[in-house]
Amino acid sequence: MAQQPEAQQAGALPRPTLESVAERAGVSRATASRVVNGGTGVREALREKVQRAVDELGYAPNLAARTLVTRRNHAIAVVVAEPESRLFSDPFFAQHLRGISRELSAADNQMVLLLIEAQQDYERVGRYLAGGHVDGALLFSLHRSDPLPEMARRVGLPTVIGGRPGWPGAESDRELVYVDSDNRGGARMAVQHLRSLGRTRIATITGPLDQTSSTDRLDGYRDLIPDGDPALIAEGDFTPDGGGRAMAELLARRPDLDAVFAASDAMASGALRVLRTHGRRVPEDVAIVGFDDVESIAAWTEPPLTTVRQDIEEMGRLMARLLLRRLASPAQPLAPTSVITPTRLVRRESA
């Protein structure tokens, strides 16, 4: 037999099947399958024959066929409902993905990315999650009453959520697994730090108040300033622009403020600019602390930001790990429970 090495022609060369491997190795399909899948209980001689056939043919299993029988896709969905504003001004998103990617690919799982931009995308994503393409889902940036967790539950898809999904009551009965950082504790640290600097008129710029990461940080602020003047609180939207607008409001309402806790670095950068145009020196006149410690923002503002660090990549990794664990032991009574990761203060020059 003339056994030519693969002549690689572009176009329709049919992929080798397990059948062809078996034939070449002179064994049955079942035996070939055993070898390909870790091969316990196959005589060494046959093992080698099959392995050689695999190599020579350049065989790779057809995973649709495999999925059809194993009911395992080795793929998980990552659904991002992040409003575009943040998605594109913050490396937040990329860092999460990296953490997830690392953890998943270590377990040979793939990541299917689903971006939600408009209302109609929910339907598309819902269909996809119901379609059985993926073994689980990682959900990000849920808004109040987001339908996604319920969709996933309905089709029995194991799910882990990024950030505490906090709409009140309604969903509290069912157990949602999530990973979040210690937003409240982090905010307390920030305010405590400003206090230790002797500041007494400490304002805060919050994120959008329909997200728990925003409200939790605000709660942390209030923990230390329980009877604060409401005029010292302004709502932003996690973007530099929004932070700048909020800062301008605060200055108008309380020109005597001497410190600001901004609930994200991006907002802090916008606030910084407004402070500058208003002639306030940072940190001499107004000290400012951010949140996130996104290097490419915090280290590059003028002056560099003191901020609350959260390990975003680690959060991504944790989410993936939780999900994989859940997949490994489906009907586990001790289901994986939610995780809160710590935050810490990173001092630079703004406070």
Partner DNA sequence: TTGAAAGCGCTAACAA
Partner DNA sequence: TTGTTAGCGCTTTCAA
Enumerate binding residues for DNA (CB under 7 A). Answer: 1-3, 14-15, 17-19, 27-31, 33-34, 36-37, 41-43, 45-46, 59, 61-62, 65-66, 68-70
Give the integer Cα–Cα distance in Å for 254 and 292: 26
Interaction between residue 264 and a copy of itself (CB under 8 A) = no
Contact 217, 184 (CB under 8 A): yes
DSSP-based helix, strand, coil % in the chain, nearest 5: 45, 15, 40
Interaction between residue 252 and a copy of itself (CB under 8 A) = no
* Least spacing, CB of residue 71 vs a copy of itself, in Å: 5
Which of DNA, a copy of itself, none is residue 94 near (CB under 5 to 8 Å by kind)?
Answer: a copy of itself
Write the CB contacts of 271 (distance below 8 Å, at least 6 apart in sequence): 205, 243, 244, 246, 247, 260, 262, 288
Give the integer Cα–Cα distance in Å for 162 and 158: 14
Helix (H), strand (E) at residue 159: strand 159-162
Find, among 127, 112, 124, the residue nearest to 75 by Cα.
Answer: 112
Site string for a copy of itself, 23-62 (x = CB under 8 A): -----------------------------------x-xxx
Interaction between residue 83 and a copy of itself (CB under 8 A) = no
Interaction between residue 128 and a copy of itself (CB under 8 A) = yes
* Least spacing, CB of residue 153 vs a copy of itself, in Å: 7
Which of DNA, a copy of itself, none is residue 292 near (CB under 5 to 8 Å by kind)?
Answer: none
DSSP code of 230?
G
Interaction between residue 281 and a copy of itself (CB under 8 A) = no
Which of a copy of itself, DNA, none is residue 157 near (CB under 5 to 8 Å by kind)?
Answer: a copy of itself
